[in-house]
Chain A
Amino acid sequence: MMIPDISTVLEVVLIAVKVVVVTMILFGLPLPLTWLERKVAGHIQVRLGPWRVGPHGLLQPFADMIKLLMKEDIVPDRADKFLFTIAPLLAMVPAFAVFVAIPFGENIMLPVINKEVSLYIADMNVGILYILAISGLGIYGIILGGWASNSKYSLIGGLRSSAQMISYEISISFAAIGVVMLSNSLSLVEIVKSQGGSLLHWNFFYLPVGPVWCAIFIIGSLAEINRIPFDLPEDEGTLGAGFHTEYSGMKFALFMLAEYVAMVSVSVLTVILFFGGWNSPLPVPLPIPPIFWFVAKVVFFIYFFMWVRFTLPRYRYDQLMTIGWKILIPVSLVTILITGFMRI
């Protein structure tokens, strides 16, 4: 039997610690994000947003969390009990697993134990492919949740959601291919490194195709994470609450958690693929750690997605399919050829 040497054991322990830290952060992230979303909504609609619980409503998310924890968990009589319970997990776990491949920054020195640590969990050489594959698995949770509830609204919501997600996944894959053509690597670390230097090296500024890819990616992502203007699965005017009509309490909270984590991962991916990841926008060296740039850009895109949500109205379902199949895919095919022509 092979005995693993001490450095391998250390490596595995380090990976486990990183995974636990990232998971903890992602579990806690919806607390500030729900508060921020409601505040942004309030101010865009000339209201105050949450105000009563704590200063500026800051304790509101904690109140919500306690409320969701103490709510009765209703399982409908005719539901498939096992699938009904497991569907929120199937929606949530892939959203978390995406973050295994995400690089948050370059190597840093830990001050106390004097060891160099990389700010990513794993640098896969097929990183971008892994992310596309694993985020696609989230569809199972949604369609199974919709089916297992045995309610007409849930079923239609689940079907719409899966049709929408697979339609827009094609355009997202094309946008990812566009980035791979610009950076010549599937590894996210290499993609970020290829955008180093200054603002002008970012993939977004690879004119004229960079902004097109970025627009395709952002539109596709909005549909992929079911947010307005593409939140047809949860269209409350026609479908109740869509695929989670029958869910309550903690299971509902897990669906919401999956949605927020997906929004964060999409913001992170936009930053990594098009806006230079942790690279500083200026060519001169500044005494600012790279992680600051990364977080600042991600926060901007999270705000951007909230801003879109409270600015645009919702599309109809046929319009959604038209945008996905008749506009985004032909545009992507043409842009691939243009990008290829520019790169050879």
Chain B
Amino acid sequence: MLLTYLPILIMIGVASAMAIGALVMSFIFQPRNPYASKNSPWECGMEPVGDANEGHVRIHFFIIAMLFVIFDVETLFLFPWAVLLTEKSLSTFIFVEMIIFIVVLAIGLVYAWVKGALEWV
């Protein structure tokens, strides 16, 4: 059990170490010549106006994120179902059950569609 998941930790460690090593190398070799207009955010060469991080974000991104949460949880329910699908004693029962589940979700998708949550104007 542990031996199956230990490699993930080792991989994250090795990859981060190599990336940090590359950053350190560039820290040693790079020239440093900062001045005010170089360090200002790029805005087509004009003086930057205001702060970008004040939170002027389109609300639509948030709607997409919520729809994603719903559908991603749905796919999680489908994974164990997909593994067990060919089990003879269960298959017909769980298949009918999944039809109902998918139809309910499809109604949800149609509702979001009709309400215009998927329109991007």
Binding site for B on A (CB under 8 A): 8, 11-12, 15-16, 18-20, 22-23, 27, 68-79, 85, 88-89, 92-93, 96-97, 99-100, 121-125, 129, 134, 147, 149-155, 159, 162-163, 166-167, 169-170, 173-174, 177-178, 180-181, 184-186, 240, 245-246, 249-251, 253-254, 317-318, 321-322, 325-326, 329-330, 333, 336-337, 340-341, 343-344
Within 8 A of A (CB), among B35-58: 36, 38-43, 48, 51-53, 57-58
With a 10 A CB-CB cut-off, give which of B5, B29, B79, B95 has the most chain A CB atoms.
Answer: B79
B3 x A177 contact (CB < 8 A): no
A170 x B71 contact (CB < 8 A): yes
A12 x B51 contact (CB < 8 A): no
A150 x B41 contact (CB < 8 A): yes
Binding site for A on B (CB under 8 A): 3-8, 10-12, 14-16, 18-20, 22-23, 25-27, 29-34, 36, 38-43, 48, 51-53, 57-58, 61, 64-65, 67-68, 71-72, 75, 78-79, 82-83, 85-86, 91-92, 95, 98-99, 102, 105-106, 109, 113, 118-121
Query: Contacts A15-B3, A122-B4: A250 and B25 contacting too (C-beta < 8 A)?
Result: yes
Chain B residues near A329: list those with CB within 8 A. 71, 109
Name the CB-closest residue of B to A127: B4
User: Binding site of B, secondary structure by majority: helix, strand, loop or mixed?
Assistant: helix
B64 x A73 contact (CB < 8 A): no
Of B14, B29, B31, B105, the residue contacting A20 (CB under 8 A) is: B14
Chain B residues near A337: list those with CB within 8 A. 99, 102
- Sample (12) of A-B pairs whose CB atoms are under 8 Å apart: A70-B26, A92-B19, A122-B3, A149-B52, A166-B68, A177-B78, A178-B82, A184-B83, A246-B42, A317-B120, A318-B119, A333-B106
B95 x A344 contact (CB < 8 A): yes
A39 CB to nearest chain B CB (Å): 25
Name the CB-closest residue of A to B22: A250
Name the CB-closest residue of B to A73: B30
B39 x A174 contact (CB < 8 A): no
